[in-house]
Chain A
Amino acid sequence: MATRSMTPTRATDASAGRWRHRAEKLKAYLYLLPALVVLAAFVYYPIIESFRLSLHRVAPFGDAEIYLGLGHYTRLLTSPEFWNNVSVSLWFMVGTVPVGIFLAVVVALLLSYPVTRMSWLHRTLIFVPVIISSAIAGVLFRWLYNPVIGHINTWLEVIGIDGPNWLTSRTWALFAVTVAVVWRQLGFNVIIALAGLQQIDDSLYEAAKVDGASTGQRIRHITLPLLSPTLFFLVIVNVIFSLQAFGEIDILTNGGPGQATENLVYSVFVDGFVGTRFRGLASAQAFLLAVMIIGVSFLQFRGFRKKVHYQ
């Protein structure tokens, strides 16, 4: 046997090696520990806790809980208020995603015009919304939307339009909030769209040009198909963003007028933190919202497996 023939020194070497191996593994866990502790405590534990809360009625003040089973869920699914919030969330999505991506692609196409070499100033002006917070976006647009002296209405007046009171009008409030959110997202969307465009090989355009394809044809038959992975990514990310919109709503409209701009996130906030607190009910809504968002994220993972259209 090998061990028998080993000299004492080699035997200690071997066991030292084993120890080192074990220490190695231990070290890996130590490196992981800080991150895993944070994720476990503030991402994974809350998922379970959130579901548990959603099955209970929690006393608004204090910790008393009564088990309800799926009571909150059945109540929500039969409540017109809940469906109002769902429909606000969905309208928000419909209002922000296509427009936001369309604008981003148009701007990105303009930026990638062959002879264009953007100056620092151009890039700064075009990308700058990327650093704006939802709160600041809300504040800036609250000023622009001011019915009497806000810039939007004074400019509309110049062309003879009597602008509405954007944020308190049932007809316009949701639209107004949508514009603010589209604007804040634009910087990010343009950057991603531009990165996607620059992945496309110039020689394809050259070849198409030689074959006599017009600009429109080149965009339709080369740019858009090859941009489809980027577009897909943008759609998913923007859908998730739109479902999570909160800051602009809080600052611009507080969910009003009535509940015209109260999406699911805002409703979770109101039920959970404003006035009388219904943490159980709020958790149930958060759970349903999360199911929507996770469903979309899941699509993303699947979609990226298949990939869309690659060069």
Chain B
Amino acid sequence: MTTPAPEGITDLDLDRSVALAATDRRRGIASAEPWVQVSLFAVGLIISLPIVVAIFTSFTPLPRILGDSNSIWTPPWTFDNYVTAWTATPFGRFMYNSFVQTGVITFATVITSIFAGYAFAMFRFPGRNVAFGVVLGSLMVPFELTFIPNFVLISDLGWANTFKGLTVPFLANAFGIFLLRQFFLVLPKDLYDAAKIDGATDWYYLWKVVVPLSKGAISALTIFAFLGSWNQYLWPLIITNDESMRTAQIGIRFFLINQEAATDWGAIMAGATIVMLPTLAVFLVAQRQLVKGLAMSGLKG
């Protein structure tokens, strides 16, 4: 790691074990006793089974699925279900909507969290504790309490069925602010003083020093925000009723309702696979940051 590990944020043993496993793989030796390997694989398979079943089903021709659902494990496989799903309902549009919604929320969450986290960590100003209390307090407010008034407000603004309606309520959140503040706080104060003496402005210091040094926390927050907004359900369900504004999660809900009547489970599973593909891709690529980020937030309470 090039960034200094801030005090209190434990670098998990996971890192070490990942590194060890990597070396073992390179050397071509098994990293654990075979029976542990096998039982881990079995546990992993059981846990991921619903997803594996969905993916296999999505590639199996419909008549075979309906004849015997366990025929999915053997070829012949096909892309037909994807074609059906993609043409039967505007999945392309749903995915586009989800990407816009998720992109806006993720970008805005990161920016507002950086700003607010910076203000709390670096500046002394009257009302700082009150403001921080306000931010932390919002962590305790469940979404269920706020979504009816938010729905009324967004509708009154004429933002139902728009990207504004989908995104604006989520442009900032306490978790992100808190996470980044904790990170910024442990950056050495000397750095700040030195930059000040050199005539750096706070703005410059934020972007040239703080942000580059906090890449780990910022990327963890980016992943959380991405997953959280991509997977949103209740809010997009109520704030969109126009088919063309549905997000992928809502699209799959209505697709299920329509196709289930036609028992087209192949197409439904293809749709489900399409919807989870972006999060699956993020997981495969950024698994370590995600796991570390979650573990960190768990350990910190």
Contact = CB atoms under 8 A, between A and B. Distances in A.
A229 B300 CA distance: 10
A300 B301 contact: yes
Given A35-B177, A123-B291, A129-B47, A143 B53 contact: yes
Contact of B294 (A117, A130, A244, A290): A130
Interface string A15-38: 000000000110111011011111
B70 A151 contact: yes
B249 A116 contact: no
Given A39-B174, A117-B31, A130-B283, A149 B146 contact: no
Interface stretch (B75-83, B185-193, B228-236): B228-236
Given A121-B44, A125-B47, A279 B123 contact: no
Contacts of B125: 24-25, 28-29
B107 interface: no
Query: Which among B12, B13, B118, B144 has the highest number of chain A CB atoms within 10 Å?
Result: B144
Nearest to B233: A247
Contacts of A124: 44, 48, 283-284, 287
B118 A31 contact: yes
A134 interface: yes
B277 to A, nearest CB: 10
Given A119-B21, A142-B256, A125 B149 contact: no
Contacts of A287: 145
Contacts of B50: 137, 140-141, 144, 183
A131 B280 CA distance: 7
Interface string B73-95: 00000000000000000000000
Contacts of B54: 139-140, 143
B140 A265 contact: no
Contact of A131 (B148, B170, B227): B227
B197 interface: no
A279 B227 CA distance: 30
B25 A139 contact: no
B63 to A, nearest CB: 12
Interface in B283-301: 283-284, 287, 290-291, 294-296, 298-299, 301
Contacts of B124: 28
A195 B299 contact: yes
Contacts of B168: 38, 42
B298 A230 contact: yes
Contacts of B145: 46-47, 50, 286-287, 289-290
Contacts of B227: 131
Contacts of B232: 133
A39 B138 contact: yes
16 contacts: A24-B123, A36-B135, A38-B172, A42-B150, A50-B148, A117-B17, A117-B24, A130-B290, A131-B280, A135-B231, A142-B260, A183-B47, A191-B298, A198-B14, A269-B238, A293-B140
Given A39-B134, A47-B141, A135-B231, 10 more contacts: A38-B171, A39-B173, A41-B153, A41-B169, A116-B31, A116-B40, A119-B25, A127-B291, A129-B48, A132-B276
Interface of B: 10, 12-14, 17-18, 20-21, 24-25, 31-33, 36-37, 39-41, 43-45, 47-48, 50-51, 53-54, 57, 65-66, 68-70, 111-113, 115-116, 118-120, 123-126, 128, 131, 134-135, 138-153, 168-174, 177, 202, 227, 230-234, 237-238, 249-250, 252-253, 256, 260, 265, 268-269, 271-272, 275-276, 279-280, 282-284, 287, 290-291, 294-296, 298-299, 301
